[in-house]
Structure formats: structure tokens, C-alpha cells
Amino acid sequence: MLTIGVLSRVPKQSPTTAAIISMSIGVALIIAAVAIFFRRRIRDYALARADNPTRTRYSGPIIRIVGSDLAHAVPLTLVAGLGHWLIGSVDWYIVGALLLGSLPGISIGSHLATRISDRFLLPVLASMLVLIGLRLIAS
């Protein structure tokens, strides 16, 4: 809500605004990729310093983690999308193109993710995040 409030007060088509948003998203993607690459070290570090390590240990499959991430991402995306719609900054052509491109990828990816090892899947995901993040920072 705070972000929507800020975005409603800045020029929508400003090159500076676009550069700040691209840079911010790029940095966030690279931070997420670093967390994926070093997730075991981060987990071990957290467990070594936890009051009750049994509460912080998660040993489930990565596909379950992705499922819980999606359960949080969908409502967040809905709220963000509604906010952009209310301030009039939605490009419906881009929305349609993203939906058409995303749906086959989601379908294929969800079927393949259950058959591919986490040892292969996580580095591929992290590498893609780094590439996308660098592309956004460079643009």
C-alpha cells in the first residue's frame, strides 16, 4: 500500500522512475538468488544461533516451499495489481502478453518441478534470477 501511495505521486512515464523501479527489482532478484545459492549456509547459521532449533528446521521438499510462496504471492500480486489499476498505471496489452506467456510456463514448470532434483532445480532458478536481475540493472 505504501508503494502504491508513493507511485501515485510520482510521474508515471518518467525515465527516472522507470530506472529506479528497474534497479530496485534487479537488486531484489540478485539478493534472492544469493539466498538460494547459499541457503544451506544461511540455514546452518540460523540454526546455530536459534533459541529452539527444532522450530526453525524445515526439511520438506522444495516443491512444498514453492507452493507456500505461491500462496503468499498470489494475494500480494492481486493487491498490487488492484492498486496500479486504481491509480491508472495498468497497460492491458502488457498484462495480456504476460498472461499468455506465463500460463504455459507455469503449467510445464509445475509438472517438471516434481520430477527434477532440487540439486539441479535450485541453481538453475538462482542463475535465472541473477541474469534477469543483471538485465534489469543494466537497462
Domain spans in the chain, listed from the N-terminal domain onward: 2-138
Provide the pLDDT for residue 36. Answer: 86
Residue-wise pLDDT tens digits, 31-76? 989 988 888 888 788 777 776 655 555 555 555 555 556 566 667 7
Q: What is the mean pLDDT of residues 84-107?
A: 81
CA distance 139 to 135: 6
Mean pLDDT of the chain: 77
CA distance 99 to 111: 18
Q: How confident is the model at residue 101 (pLDDT cuts 50, 70, 90)?
A: confident
pTM, rounded to two decimals: 0.62
